[in-house]
Structure 1
């Protein structure tokens, strides 16, 4: 017996993978973060700060629901192909900035990846605070907040 995958299931998996980004055979999380940085100057940074906060909040809620559904479909808890959480974390990293040069964007990317990969306290523990996609998302939110703090401090000192 075959089961038909609904359109909502397909959307959940595709969104959770951030399109084809999550299907990268090499470091899909890094690819997802790179896609987020590439999209940000066009779709995120031009928005006023209040709308950027709203976009992140909406992506967190909607994305958590999509990831929860995708985990069930894919049959795995937080599989590497799920990278929508990287977009949220990466955009949190650059949240306070209306624009950044290429080098500052590259630093934002590197800082987020550093905190997302090393998962300093309480980033690692936060995965257990919430269930499903909510737990997948929250650690990237915290990694993004750490990275935003570092980027902001460095930008204040050196820009």
Structure 2
């Protein structure tokens, strides 16, 4: 009779600064540390996305920002897939790259707007992302699990939340 090899623990891992620095995908998926917030990491990640967009818009043209968002979505798909697998959680709260790139999309398409408009966009996006009403809830349930499908699912519901945010902003602008 042969002794079986001990299996590694499949318990979920906790995101930490050391975990984030262990792999470039972790740093990206955890929003360069914003996802490590002990309180509301999705909100902190969205704030990081907002602030970084405001900085980047001074250096990048609209077309370059669009390319950054598209590239960020593709790189984020890899980073979210890898980080979720390494954390052993299908959609960990510490992964905030989905909020960052989706909120970049909102700002890219809705700008220019003043501070109050940006605050409204932020609040709407956070509502749709957190409460997951209607199409956002549907999108959240569509791609679950690990691997590339699950990694895409981490991003997809935030893109739908961004679409819902942009729809409300467009209606607001049309009827106001």
TM range (shorter): 0.7 to 0.9
Question: Higher relative CO (CA 8 A, sep ≥ 6), structure 1 or 2?
Answer: 1
Give the whole-Å Cα distance in 2 for the aligned partners of 1:68 and 1:87.
16
CA contact (8 A) 1:95 1:148 kept: no
Give the whole-Å Cα distance in 2 for the aligned partners of 1:105 and 1:8.
31
Give the whole-Å Cα distance in 1 for the aligned partners of 2:58 and 2:135.
28
Of 166, 169, 172 in structure 2, the residue corresponding to residue 148 of structure 1 is 166
Give the whole-Å Cα distance in 1 for the aligned partners of 2:77 and 2:21.
14
Give the whole-Å Cα distance in 2 for the aligned partners of 1:45 and 1:124.
35
- Unaligned 5+ runs, structure 1: none
Give the whole-Å Cα distance in 1 for the aligned partners of 2:21 and 2:37.
23
How far is 1:92 from its partner?
Answer: 1.9
Compute the TM-score of the two structures, normalised by the length of structure 1. 0.85
2:118 match: 105
Instruction: Spell out, residue by residue over 1:93-127, the C-alpha distance to the aligned partner (whole angstroms, 9 max, x if none).
Output: 22224432111111111010011011122212223
1:36-55 alignment to 2 at 5 Å?
Answer: 36-44=49-57, 47-55=60-68
- Unaligned 5+ runs, structure 2: 1-17, 144-148
> CA 1:123–1:97 in 2, change beyond 3 Å: closer, same or farther?
closer
Instruction: Spell out, residue by residue over 1:16-68, the C-alpha distance to the aligned partner (whole angstroms, 9 max, x if none).
Output: 01011000000000000011111112214764443333222211111011100
1:133 match: 151
Give the whole-Å Cα distance in 2 for the aligned partners of 1:8 and 1:23.
12
CA contact (8 A) 2:45 2:96 kept: yes
Matched residue count:
155
- Structure showing greater radius of gyration is 2
1:5-44 alignment to 2 at 5 Å?
Answer: 10-44=23-57
Give the whole-Å Cα distance in 1 for the aligned partners of 2:25 and 2:58.
25
Compute the TM-score of the two structures, normalised by the length of structure 2. 0.77
